[in-house]
Amino acid sequence: MRLLFLGDIVGRSGRIAVQERLPELRQRWTLDCVVINGENAAGGFGITEAICEDVLAAGADVVTLGNHSWDQREALVFIERQPRLIRPANYPSGTPGRGATVIEARNGARVLVVNLMGRLFMDPLDDPFAAVERELSACPLGEVADAIIVDMHAEATSEKLAMGHFLDGRATLVVGTHTHVPTSDTRILPAGTAYQSDAGMCGDYDSVLGMQKDEAIRRFIEKTPGSRLEPGLGEAALSGIAVETDDLTGLAKAVWPVRLGPGLQESWPVAWDARSA
Ligand code: FE2
């Protein structure tokens, strides 16, 4: 099966890029499952119910979150009635919503999607390694799940790599989000798990991590309160990772970085275009 994971949608320009391009990509690449991180979709901070519905309507099967999960307070309520929106599984017990979900992919396969948050240079949460162990033991790859996608929302590449190796051979894809900068370590780990330390963002790359440059630069120079950071308004690029899985094992057979749009050197699964043509 064919999976696409896209990194953090930042603001309106990121949403427009997803809405304009994802329906075509779903068809062109005959994608079975699409997961997108949406924690910065509402003006850079959180997600609203209307935006979540738009992202799902554009072709996402599951939307994941992170440290900005609750910036839009309404998310605390509507996450309870939206099973395709998940927040990090290692929030304290009692937190609204769920940290994992199983969906039926376009090809009928059962896909477990787990959202985690790192603890290095982030808010202290419960242990993400213990949290993912619980989710995977309830729904193991090859027994209950046909594919498992893990979004590790974290700052430190060391913690993301540790999670990748921890789950190697037990998940289809472990991908980092949060830094908004795509890393070039797209690969398949020794036991068959696809991995990339950070998916990058779906946003305006002529910016500082998706936010307009002037205020972001000023904050580094003048240590005084300024105006609110606002998302860049330029055309956004999509960024993430594409995975072809082995239907028998649920592990990765091939993997490609995806970067489409202005600001980054473009990359996509050309093999999928060739076979689809
Ligand atoms: Fe984040």
Pair 9, 55: CB distance under 8 Å: yes
Domains of the chain: 2-260 (3.60.21.10)
Binned at pLDDT 50, 70 and 90, residue 12 comes out as very high
11 pLDDT higher than 90? yes
Contacts of 212 (CB under 8 A, 6+ apart): 229, 230, 231, 232, 233
Question: Within 10 Å of residue 29's Cβ, how many Cβ atoms?
Answer: 21
275 pLDDT higher than 90? no
Percent of the chain at pLDDT above 70? 99
Q: Which is catalytic among the residues 68, 153, 178, 180? A: 68
pLDDT attached to residue 223: 87
CA atoms within 13 A on the CB side of 117: 23
| Among 182, 207, 218, residue whose Cα is nearest residue 197 | 182
pLDDT attached to residue 276: 53
End-to-end CA distance of the chain: 18
166 DSSP assignment: H
Burial 134-168 (b: 16+ CB within 10 A, else e): ebbeebebeeebbbbbbbbbbbbbebbbbbbebbb
Ligand 1 center to residue 67 CA distance, Å?
A: 5
Q: Is 227 exposed, middle or buried (0-12, 13-18, 19+ CB in 10 A)?
A: exposed
Q: Which residues pair with 175 in a beta bridge?
A: 151, 196
Give the pLDDT mean for 107-123: 97
Ligand 1 center to residue 155 CA distance, Å?
A: 8
pLDDT per residue as tens digits for the range 18-59? 999 999 999 999 999 999 999 999 999 999 999 999 999 999
Q: Average pLDDT, whole number, for the chain?
A: 97
Residues, CB within 5 angstroms of ligand 1 (ion): 66-67, 178
Q: Is 129 exposed, middle or buried (0-12, 13-18, 19+ CB in 10 A)?
A: middle
Task: Give the DSSP H or E segment for 130.
Answer: helix 128-138
Can you tell me whether residue 103 is helix, strand or coil? strand
The answer to whether residue 153 is catalytic is no
Ligand 1 center to residue 68 CA distance, Å?
A: 6
- d(CA 109, CA 147) in angstroms, rounded, equals 8
Ligand 1 center to residue 251 CA distance, Å?
A: 27
pLDDT attached to residue 274: 76
Strand order in the sheet with 2-6: 85-86, 62-64, 33-37, 2-6, 238-245, 252-260
Give this prediction's pTM: 0.97
**Low-confidence winner among 149-163, 220-234, 257-271 (lowest mean pLDDT):** 220-234
Give the pLDDT mean for 59-77: 98
Binned at pLDDT 50, 70 and 90, residue 195 comes out as very high
- d(CA 272, CA 30) in angstroms, rounded, equals 9
Ligand 1 center to residue 66 CA distance, Å?
A: 5
